[in-house]
Structure 1
Amino acid sequence: MLATLKEVLEIANQRGTAIPHFNIDNIAGIEAVMEAADTENYPVILSIGQGAINAGNLWYLADAVQRAANDSKVPVVLHLDHGVSYEQTVVCLRAGFTSVMYDGSHHPFEENVRESLAVIRSAHAVGVSVECELGAIGGVEDGMSHDHLNLVDVGEVERFCAQVNCDALAIGIGNAHGLYKGTPHFDFDRLTACRKLDTPPLVLHGGSGTPDEMLRKAIELGIRKINVATELRMAYMEGLEASVGQRDFYKMCKQAKDNITAVARQKIRLFQGL
C-alpha cells in the first residue's frame, strides 16, 4: 500500500527502529526490494534519485512503484531523493509521489529556509511529506559531489526547525554518499545534541558501506531513516558479472535481482535491530 514518509516514520518512532530508503533505478530493483519488504513484512521507502531522473526514467519508475505498492500489504513510500528545485518537486507531486526531499543544503541558510517552506506549502497541501537537509552531505551520488567533512551545525538545526515544519530532516554527522575510504567516523555526540532539540525524525544519508554496529548506534540515538543506494547498485552489477560466463540473459538478470533482494533483506533486518 502507498504511504507517506510521515506515516512510516511514525512506525519507526513507535518501535525505536529505522525505515530503509532504497534508491531504485530500474524495474528489477523495484521488484527485488519489494520481495525483500514483503518477506520481512516491514515498510520501505522506494526512492528515485537524480541519476534516474537525468536518464529520463522518472515517470515510468513512479508508475511502477505505485503498481508494486498497490500489490503489497506493507507500507511503501514513493520518494524523491535530493530534489534540486521547487519545480522538480512539483513534477513529482503530479507523478504521484507520496514524499519529496528538497535539498537546499548547498544554499545559504536563509535561502534553504525560504525554498524549503515553498516546497512544504505545496506538498502538504496535497498530503505529501517533505524531507529537508542541513549541511551538504559529502561523497558522490548521482553525479553530486561534495568533498568536505560533513558535520551539521547544531545551532542551525535549532534555527531551521523553529522556522521549517518539515516531516524529516537529514543531518551530517560525518556520513557521506557512495562508499567510504576506510572506516567512517560518526560524531554521535553531535547526533545526540540534535536529537535533544525539537526536531522532526532525523535521517542518515550514506548508509552504504557503514559498519553494522555504527548503524545500530545511530538508530539507538534517534536516526529513523537510513538511505542505501550504492550497495544495491554494486550488488546488481556483481550479479550480472558473476553470470557472464553462462551467456544466459535471464539467468544474469535473475542473479542481479536476487543480489539486490539479499542486500535489502539484510538492511531491513538490521534497521529493525534483528
Structure 2
Amino acid sequence: MPLVNTREMFQKAYDGGYAIGAFNVNNMEIIQGITEAAKELNAPLILQVSAGARKYASHTYLMKLVEAALIETDLPIALHLDHGDSFELCKSCIDGGFSSVMIDGSHYDYEENVALTRKVVEYAHERNVTVEGELGRLAGIEDAVNVSAEDASYTNPAQVQDFVERTGVDSLAIAIGTSHGAYKFKPGQKPQLRFDILEEVSKRLPGFPIVLHGASSVIPEFVEKINKFGGAMPDAIGIPEEMLRQAAKMAVCKINIDSDLRLAMTASIREHFAEHPDHFDPRQYLKPARAAIKDMVAHKINTVLGCAGKA
C-alpha cells in the first residue's frame, strides 16, 4: 500500500470518535516498534518527522525505512512533517515524497501566519498532500520547538473559522493546555486541558479535524526506571491519559506522541545496561528498547486513541 494523506483517515476518526496516533520517528528501531504495534492492532498510523530528525537520519534513509514499514504492514500510513517552520522546508518534504506537512506559523503575527500557511497549502494541494496549520502557541521544549511559558498562548476560538477559510488547511493544531517535552508542569501543578476552548472551536468548525501537540503522558513507569538507573527526572509530569481520551472523543483526530517514545526507549536501555554492564552489541540493548516502544504504542492505541481495528 502506498503512503496516504490524512484526509480520509481524519474523516473516519471524526465520525468514529477516535484519534490517530502521530508518532515521531528518528531511526529503524523506533519505526519498527511503532509499526509492529499498529499492525497487530490493525490501526491507522501517522509517522511524523521533525526537521531535527530529518537532519539526524537524513531524508533518504527515513523515506526508505517508511517504505519498508508500508511493505511489512500493509497499513494506511501517512508520512508527516512535524513543525515545519518555513515554506522551503515544507516544499522539500512534499517534493521528497511526504504525504502530509505541518506549517507552523504560530510564532508570526496572525496575518503573517495566514499568508505563510496559505502559500504552503496551495503548493501542497496541487500535489495531493494535506496540510496542518497551527493557531496558539504551546509552551515547552522538544527538538527544535522552544517556547517559554511567558510566550505561550491559548488558541482564540474567534479566529479559527477565519483562519481555516482563508488558508484552506486540512487540519488545525490548537493550544488548550498541552505542552512539548517531559517537563510540562511545575511540581504540584495540576494538569488541566481547556475543554471549553476545544468545544468552542468544534462549534465554529463542525466536522473539522483538530490536532493536539505535546500530548505525551510522560508515563510514570518509564520515569521511575530512568531515575532508578542513573537519571534525574523527578519533576517530569505529563497529560493524564483520560483527558486525552476525552479529547479524542470530541473533535481531536490526531494526537502527537514523542516524549513517551523517547522515555520508553531510554528507560529500557538504561535498565538493560544496569543488568548487563558487559554488553556492547547494539542488538542486545536495542531489541528490548524496540519491544518497549511497541508495548507503549499498543497501550496508546488501546487506551488513549481508540483506533484499534480502524485501519
Do the two structures share a fold, i.e. TM-score over 0.5? yes
Conserved? CA contact 1:168–1:202, under 8 Å: yes
The one-letter code sitting in structure 2 at the alignment partner of 1:225 is K
**Aligned-residue CA RMSD in angstroms?**
1.5
Maintained 8 Å contact 2:26/2:57: no
Partner AA of 1:53 in structure 2: R
Give 1:157 deviation, angstroms: 1.2
Q: Structure 2: where are the runs of 5+ without partners?
A: 218-238
Q: Which moved more, 1:29-38 or 1:218-227?
A: 218-227
Alignment of 1:100-111 (within 5 A): 100-111=101-112
- Once the two structures are superposed, the pairs formed by residues 170-189 of structure 1 within 5 Å of their partners are 170-179=173-182, 180-181=184-185, 182-189=189-196
Identify the residue that residue 306 of structure 2 maps to in structure 1: 272
Higher deviation after alignment, 173-182 or 255-264: 173-182
Partner of residue 80, structure 1: 81
Residue aligning to 1:52: 53
- How far did 1:216 drift? 1.4
* Mapped partners of 2:42, 2:289: distance in 1: 22
Structure 1 contact 135–151 (Cα < 8 Å) conserved: yes
Within the candidate set 144, 151, 154, 1:151 is matched to: 154
> Are 1:20 and 1:226, in contact at CA under 8 Å, matched by a contact in 2?
yes
Amino acid at match of 2:158: G
1:71 aligns to what? 72
Cα distance change, pair 36–56 in 1 and its aligned pair in 2 (3 A): closer
Higher mean displacement: 199-208 or 102-111: 199-208
Match of 1:198 in 2: 205
Deviation of 1:73 after TM superposition, in Å, equals 2.4
Query: Could you tell me how far apart the structure 1 residues matched to 2:67 and 2:113 are?
Result: 30
Letter in 2 for 1:146: V
With 247-256 and 166-175 compared, the bigger mean Cα shift is at 247-256
| Residue-by-residue CA offset, 1:77-113 (whole Å, 9 max, x unaligned) | 1010000110101110122100000000110111111
| Alignment match, 1:239 | 268
Residues 1-274 of structure 1 mapped to structure 2, 5 A cutoff: 1=1, 2-55=3-56, 57-148=58-149, 149-179=152-182, 180-181=184-185, 182-198=189-205, 200-209=208-217, 210-244=239-273, 245-246=275-276, 247-249=279-281, 250-270=283-303, 271-272=305-306
Gaps of 5+ in 1: none
How many angstroms does 1:162 deviate by? 2.5
Distance 1:223 1:29, change over 3 A: same
Question: Does the CA contact (< 8 Å) of 2:52 and 2:144 recur in 1?
Answer: yes
Write the distance in 1 (CA, Å) between the matches of 2:120 and 2:68: 26
Contact 2:49 2:80 (8 Å CA) reproduced: yes
Q: Structure 1 CA distance, aligned partners of 2:161 and 2:10?
A: 20
Per the alignment, in what secondary structure is the counterpart of residue 247 of structure 2?
A: helix
CA distance in 2, matches of 1:106, 1:25: 25
Which of the two has higher C-alpha Rg? 2
Q: Report the 3-state secondary structure (helix = DSSP H, G, I; strand = E; otherwise coil) of the residue aligned with 2:93.
A: helix
Partner deviation per Cα, 1:227-261 (whole Å, 9 max, x = no partner): 00001011111111111142152220101111111
Amino acid at match of 1:115: L
Instruction: Report if aligned partners of 1:216, 1:273 keep a CA contact under 8 Å in 2.
Output: no
Provide, for residues 155-206 of structure 1, a one-character-per-residue CA deviation record: whole Å limited to 9, x for no partner.
Answer: 1212212212111100000111112224421111111000001263000111
Deviations 1:36-80 (A, max 9, x none): 110110101000012212325233112211231233222111010
Paired residues of 2:48 and 2:79 also in contact (CA < 8 A): yes
When residues 59 and 10 of structure 1 are mapped into structure 2, their CA distance, relative to the original with a 3 A threshold, is same
Shift of 1:220: 2.1
Percent of matched pairs sharing the same residue: 35
Instruction: State the Cα distance separating 1:8 from its structure 2 match.
Output: 1.5
TM-score of the superposed pair, with normalisation by structure 1:
0.95
Amino acid at match of 1:215: L
Residue type of the alignment partner of 2:300: K
Amino acid at match of 1:11: K
What TM-score, normalized by structure 2, do the two folds share? Answer: 0.84
Amino acid at match of 1:234: L
Contact 1:150 1:174 in 2 (8 A): no
* Per-residue deviation, 1:11: 2.1
